[in-house]
Amino acid sequence: MSLNILVVAEADHPFYELITKHYEVRGIEEAMASFDIYDYVIDCSQLRTQKKYYFIKELAHTTKAPVITDLSLCWGEWIYHNCPFVKGAISTLFYAPSKSLEFSIKDENDFQTKKVITDFYQSLNKEALYHQDLKLSFHYPRVISMIINEAYFSLEENLASKTAIDLAMKNGVSYPLGPFEWGEKIGLALIIELLRELREVTGEDRYKISHQLKLEAIKL
């Protein structure tokens, strides 16, 4: 039986075109204004934890559907704890150079949610990689954001040029992309949002953001 699924995504989502080929897609405002009923909602919005909480609460109420939500920028454990209508989580916002994307499900025996996610990833030409017991955040966005942030700290301290740092990481430790190339592909604003979230949740200074990264990310 085919499920009636709504995907919430804005036009700047990295997989927007692919998603629109396979799913009914609405932006955040449009989704909030609708009272259509669905079997599942897949929320790909870029909201951070608290805004996401209110959004998906409203979304679940109007659509009467279980929600799978993108938690690339959010405190996953908190969303799971406070949002009973969230059944699973995906991570699609950060450009990933390889074949897979991470996902999580609240109840590991919830095979239907798992299938909805794996089918969704398949439509993005990605394989689904299970992340057990989602805590602070998904692994890839967190680790890559810290690497890119450090590259920007190095740049602001005149350690080397962007080109030299990119070349060094690719040729010294075989990174698939240099950190600046990587940051451009992901979008610096997303990296900043995640680091802010990590700092707010943990209270740790290790997540402070490079001045240079902010300088280059904040565009009027």
Partner 1 sequence: MMIKKIAVVGAGTMGQGIAQWFLQQKIQVELIDQNFDFSLKSAKTIETNLETLMTKGKLSASDVEVMKSSLKVIKLEDISVSTDLVIEAIIEDKKIKCDLFSKLESLLNSKTIIASNTSSFPITELAASLSSESRSRFLGLHFFNPATLMKLVEVISGTETNKELSYKLTEWFNSKGKVACQCSDAPGFIVNRVARNFYGESLRACGVYDEKRFFEIDSVMKNVGGFKMGPFELMDLIGIDVNLSVTESVYNAFFNEARFKPHRLQKEMVSSGRLGRKTKRGFYQYES
Q: Which residues bind partner 1 (CB under 8 A)?
A: 96-102, 127, 129-132, 135-136, 138-140, 142-144, 146-147, 149-151, 153-154, 157-161, 164-165, 167-169, 171-177, 179, 204-206, 208
Tell me if 183 sits within 8 A of 148, measured CB to CB: yes
Tokens of 23: 């799913």
Q: In sequence order, which residues have a C-beta less than 8 Å from that of residue 187 and are 6 or more positions away? A: 95
Minimal distance in Å, beta carbon 196 to partner 1? 15
Q: Is 16 helix (H, G, I), strand (E, B) or coil?
A: helix
CA dist 73 and 197 (Å) reads 7
Minimal distance in Å, beta carbon 69 to partner 1? 18
Q: Of 85 and 175, which has the nearer Cβ to partner 1? A: 175
Minimal distance in Å, beta carbon 217 to partner 1? 18
Q: Of 7 and 165, which has the nearer Cβ to partner 1? A: 165
- Amino acid identity, position 30: E
End-to-end CA distance of the chain: 47
Minimal distance in Å, beta carbon 140 to partner 1? 4
